[in-house]
Amino acid sequence: MPTAQEIEVYTQRYETYRHLDKLRWQMLQIAVAAAPLSLALGRNADAHPQPWAYAVVGLVLIVLGFVMERIRHGITENNKVLREAAAAVGDQFIPSPSSWRRSYSAWIAYALIALGILSFSAQFWGG
């Protein structure tokens, strides 16, 4: 029979996993909302985005991509402790974390970073 402390550790780690997973995908939602909004607000008289708007979008995408990657790393680290806590309380169904090569969130984060670099550099070659 698991102790109260083991159950508490399991509960907290599972809640942390759920929170980080929601947070990870919220970064993508923020990127999808912020990029077009920044470009729309940065339009000049002929309806083309100004160079600073490309820089803002680029920086936002780069930052959100790095944040997504850090959250994915936090989920992986949390999963190690969660698996141990789950074994202590008898839960054998916690999946092992996938490698970054098989993780959709990792590839999306890398794509955000790449798009951010392209957008940021667009300010130098005229948009």
Q: Is the dihedral of CA 123, 125, 126, 127 positive or negative?
A: negative
pTM: 0.84
Instruction: Please report, in tens digits, the pLDDT of each residue of the chain (127 residues total).
Output: 889 999 999 999 999 999 999 999 999 999 999 988 888 888 877 878 888 888 999 999 999 999 999 999 999 999 999 999 999 999 888 888 778 788 899 999 999 999 999 999 988 876 5
- Asked whether 9 and 87 are in contact (CB, 8 A), the reply is no
Identify the pLDDT of residue 122. Answer: 87
> At a CB cut-off of 8 Å and minimum separation 6, what does 63 contact?
116
Identify the pLDDT of residue 126. Answer: 63
Residue 49: which of 35, 61, 59 has the closest Cα? 35
Residue 69: which of 33, 114, 32, 3 has the closest Cα? 114
* Coil, helix or strand at residue 117: helix
> At a CB cut-off of 8 Å and minimum separation 6, what does 44 contact?
50
Residue 110: which of 64, 42, 78 has the closest Cα? 64
